[in-house]
Amino acid sequence: MASAGAEKGGVFRKDNLIAWCVVPFDARQRGPAERAAMLQRLGITMLAYDWRDKDIPTWDQEADELARRGIKFQGFWMSSGLEPEKDKRIRLILDFLKRRRIRTQLWYWPAAPKDFESVPADKKVEAVARAVGWLASQAREIGCSVGMYNHGGWTGEPENQLAVIKRLKMPNVGIVYNFHHGHEQMDRFAQFFPALAPHLMAVNLNGMRKGGPMILTIGEGDRELEMLRIIRKSKYRGPVGILNHRTDVDAEEGLARNIEGLRNLLRQMGDNVALETYR
């Protein structure tokens, strides 16, 4: 579904940006109040929440501070093995979202076991679909959706994620696609992205260069401009993430660099409608 910002004239509008990887990845180690204030200063109105165990006691404060500043709780990161029903952290998240009546996207990485490569292809699809389907059923009861998060391995390949979606046929299941976990997919991005687009819940941007590094400021690579053009020409109009993802960098500085890098690429693309929103 297109966000309000994208409906007004462009997927790369500033009010269509999500902040991502800014909780454990922040040299300042901000708490909820400082983080919400930082996002407001930057003019970012959506946060996807990545966390560590130490952050669990402040989940309620995070929700309160975001709501107070009008910032949408756009996504909640989670991962598990292929039996999420046995993972205590998954239940903890679901219970929190239900209690707080937060309707959001669950950015879910179903981590496959070490011996998964030896499993026949159809059995791989069946196993991952069972895990994702269970979570999606739980999410549906509290008004949430599940976005499979590409984090490498078999479950991070677009074609495999599409096979899982086809098998499940559940309307609240989609995909969160990350540039920084897709370096090995750059050469075929133009081929698979159109098929991915109808199922996308978010696309997270990054500077892209053959051979890495994995995390690079937008505009400092040599492939992301081409990839952004493909996204712009597609039917995708959902939100777009920018990230910090570095523990040695102030998250505000990292986000600001990526915003400026994106602006420079928008100038090169001639996307004046989106550019107007950054002034």
**pLDDT for position 246:** 97
Full pLDDT tens readout for the chain, 279 residues:
444 444 456 899 999 999 999 999 999 999 999 999 999 999 999 999 999 999 999 999 999 999 999 999 999 999 999 999 999 999 999 999 999 999 999 999 999 999 999 999 999 999 999 999 999 999 999 999 999 999 999 999 999 999 999 999 999 999 999 999 999 999 999 999 999 999 999 999 999 999 999 999 999 999 999 999 999 999 999 999 999 999 999 999 999 999 999 999 999 999 999 999 998
User: According to the model, what pLDDT value does residue 5 have?
Assistant: 42
Q: Two tokens at 239?
A: 């939100």
How far, in Å, CA of 225 to CA of 223, rounded? Answer: 6
pLDDT at 6: 47
Nearest to 133 by CA among 149, 114, 146: 146
Query: Which pLDDT score, from 0 to 100, does residue 9 have?
Result: 60
Distances (CA, A) of 146 to 49, 51, 134, 240: 14, 17, 10, 17
Contact 277, 49 (CB under 8 A): no
Q: Determine the distance from the C-alpha atom of residue 152 to the mean position of all C-alpha atoms in its chain, rounded to a whole number.
A: 14
CATH number of the structural domain 4-276: 3.20.20.150
CB environment 39-64: b (16+ within 10 A), e (fewer) = bbebebbbbbbbbeeebeebbeebbe
- Domain extent listing, the chain: 4-276
For residues 85 and 57, is the Cβ–Cβ distance under 8 A?
no
Neighbours of 122 (CB within 10 A): 10
State the pTM of this model.
0.95
